[in-house]
Chains A and B, each alone.
Chain A
Amino acid sequence: MAAPKVAVVGAGVIGLSTALCIAETFPSCSVTVLSDQFSPNTTSDVAAGMLIPHTYPGTPIHVQKQWFKETFTHLFAISNSAVASEAGIHLVSGWQVFKSTPKEELPFWSDVVLGFRPMSEAELQKFPKHRFGQAFTTLKCDCPPYLLWLEKRLKAIGVQMHTRKVADLWELHGEYNVVVNCTGIGAHQLVGDEKLFPIRGQVLKVHAPWVKNFIRDGDGLTYIYPGIHRVTLGGTREKERWSLSPDPGTTKDIFDRCCSLEPSLREAQEIQVKVGLRPSRQCVRLQREVLSQGEVKLLVVHNYGHGAGGFSVHRGTAKEAARLVGECIAALKNSSLRAKL
């Protein structure tokens, strides 16, 4: 059998990291990334890229923790290397503050991030409206730099990238042996997944370079995440809302909420507004599927539905997707062997 041809559909953080994992794990494969959007126009580019996991109700916690740990460890090594700034990966410390003590005082990821501990009384004085808090250090993947760096690494190992809108997975049948579906919110239309729904997020990206620490309200709605050049101010979590147009009333509301947490943000400049649709699902769809049309089969690996937690688990799910691609390739080899007998 000739070198297996793998198509990865989608070029956000999931698509690119999955393509990289596949290409690195199976060097004999030819891997191509197909997407209608590339950075800076993906959902990933809107996100702050903070490694603070979101909890998927439908996935066992130990699996989510494993994904997060793999991702954190992988990025930790990059953040410490000479390519950190090019890759857009950097450490950031800060606080998660709660107006009332959370049910769960120790999130499942508290021993993966660095230096996790409850905030002291003195630290909480900076947040008069909040009664409890956690301090820790985590990593941030700045986009576009991180995605552009992944693209650069992909090109360096011969992975092709094409701008192409895939309207139906079957389009790819003749050209590719395995299709990896990393289309995020696009999977709603592409594979008709009714369980996938958008959670609309509007954010501001501002110039406020004196903000060096992150601040996040435990309710998940208000957050301040300092990136390399801009600080991401958020946000909203609007279930089932599909509009990608910024909402001016929301912009003012986000700005006011963030200034309430960090008053110096009143001096922020160059406010840009962005909207992204978190591809949300009870659990990440990370599984193989064999599509058939009569005798003809199409081997698919799905890796989408990461909702608010894409960056936090991307490397872990990419590795699992690569493993599933390996199973597909093995299955193809078996059936091609059997066909010869």
Chain B
Amino acid sequence: MRVAIIGAGVIGLSTALCIHEQYHSLVPSLEMEVYADRYTPHTTSDGAAGLWQPYLSDQGNLQETLWNKETFDHLLGHLSSAAASEMGLFLLSGYNLFTQPVPDPSWKNIVLGFRNLTPKELELFPGYSYGWFNTALMLEGRSYLPWLTNRLTQRGVKFFHKKVESFQEVSGDGVDVVINCTGVRAGQLQPDPELQPGRGQVIKVLAPWVKHFIITHDIQAGIYNSPYVIPGREFTVLGGIYQHGNWNEENSAQDHRTIWESCCRLLPALQKAKIVGEWSGLRPARPRARLERETLRHGSSPAEVIHNYGHGGYGITIHWGCAMAAARLFGSILQEKKLANLPQPRF
């Protein structure tokens, strides 16, 4: 049985690993291949800071909240393991800041130690009158993706550097199941008007004295259009740009100024931080992630596709829950195929 995963960001690689872990012993003939035009460190997942944090509101989407929780708990379980460091996984505490009181988020009981900020803490952030403190997790893409790649390579998964132009290209080649983890460019394989780029830009600086994430929110401006500071292992990410519908992957000087000025206002000491990089990426934004099966009927045989894309700015946050869900869909495909191949009863 041949399985092809298209896309090698956090979604593609984790889905591949999840499926392989669960089914390779059940399906001895399982052959898995990954196709992508971009690999680490050039994927969207590599540019993200890597903070586990869903959006403020789950918009009634309990399914996604459960997948977020599944991911957090899965990662928390790995924290004490020898792999944590190699995975780029560590605990990080920090602040979410608002200019007015807001309802508690769906994830308040998922993270550790969630509480409101005290008046004294708010003195640190002039202009903000309300906020949260909690301990969450960091999972840096630039470490996690290579770690996933190593685990997959050890399992005999093959990687191909190739831009797939159509599902048929892969399924027509004898692949039984295609897993579509193409993120923001999924529309090139199958039009999806609900999928739009949520362009972001970040400045990478050296600011090792910053030990907390700080995420500000401007309810009018929308998610991630307000400054944020997220300290990683080696460098700190400054951001605060979310431009819906903007496909431009070039860095913008104006966005640079917006990020720099607003972050330095938030943390004056950042003025002394050394800038070591800048990056723009396109969040694969969608009202909700597309995680479902599709049977494509064209040509000789139907092709089974599992879509797993459209995770916006919370891909790392939700990835494992989605990988598990995709693995369950894969399991149902296996069930159906086995039923089809069962020997006829003999009387």
Contacts and interface: CB of A to CB of B under 8 A. Distances in A.
Interface of A: 80-86, 88, 90-94, 114-115, 117, 119-120, 122-123, 126, 135, 137, 142, 209-213, 226, 228-229, 263-264, 266-267
Main secondary structure of the interface of A (DSSP, over half): mixed
Contact of A115 (B90, B92, B118, B234): B118
Interface stretch (B265-273, B299-307, B316-324): B265-273
B158 interface: no
- 9 closest A-B pairs (Cβ-Cβ)? A84-B269, A82-B268, A210-B90, A267-B85, A90-B209, A93-B93, A85-B269, A210-B233, A212-B211
B135 A114 contact: no
A281 B323 CA distance: 59
Q: Is the interface on chain B under 10, 10 to 19, 20 to 34, or 35 or more residues?
A: 35 or more
B51 to A, nearest CB: 12
Interface stretch (B76-84, B99-107, B215-223, B240-248): B76-84
A114 B93 contact: no
A88 B212 CA distance: 16
B281 to A, nearest CB: 23
Contacts of B268: 80-82, 84
Contact of B79 (A84, A114, A126, A137): A126
A85 B207 contact: yes
B273 A85 contact: yes
Contacts of A83: 269
B85 A91 contact: no
Contact of A226 (B82, B133, B211, B234): B211
B231 A212 contact: yes
A264 B231 CA distance: 18
A229 B82 CA distance: 23
Contact of A90 (B80, B123, B211): B211
A247 to B, nearest CB: 28
Contacts of A213: 91-93, 135, 211
Contacts of A91: 124, 211-212
A226 B82 CA distance: 20
Nearest to B133: A115
A228 B207 CA distance: 8
Given A93-B212, A117-B115, A137-B121, A211 B79 contact: no
A85 B208 CA distance: 9
Given A86-B272, A92-B211, A122 B112 contact: yes
Contacts of B207: 85
B120 interface: yes
B329 interface: no
Interface in B116-167: 117-118, 120-121, 123-124, 133, 135, 138
A266 B209 contact: no
A228 B113 contact: no
B333 interface: no
B85 A210 contact: yes
B140 to A, nearest CB: 9
A212 B93 contact: yes
B210 interface: yes
B107 to A, nearest CB: 13
A123 B93 CA distance: 12
Nearest to B92: A212
A117 B135 CA distance: 14
B113 A229 contact: no
Contacts of A92: 211
A120 B133 CA distance: 14
Given A93-B211, A93-B212, A264-B90, A82 B269 contact: yes
B208 A211 contact: no
B239 to A, nearest CB: 18
A263 B84 contact: yes
Contacts of B138: 210
Contacts of A135: 113
A90 B231 CA distance: 13
Nearest to B206: A85
A212 B120 contact: no
17 contacts: A80-B124, A81-B268, A82-B269, A82-B272, A84-B268, A85-B207, A85-B269, A93-B212, A114-B120, A117-B113, A122-B113, A126-B80, A228-B209, A229-B208, A263-B79, A264-B85, A266-B82
A122 B84 CA distance: 19
A330 to B, nearest CB: 37
B85 A123 contact: no
Contacts of A85: 207, 209, 269, 272-273
Given A135-B113, A211-B90, A213-B92, 18 more contacts: A80-B123, A80-B124, A81-B268, A84-B268, A91-B212, A93-B133, A115-B115, A115-B121, A122-B112, A123-B113, A137-B121, A137-B133, A212-B92, A228-B208, A263-B79, A263-B80, A263-B81, A264-B79
A266 B271 CA distance: 34
Nearest to A126: B79
B289 to A, nearest CB: 26
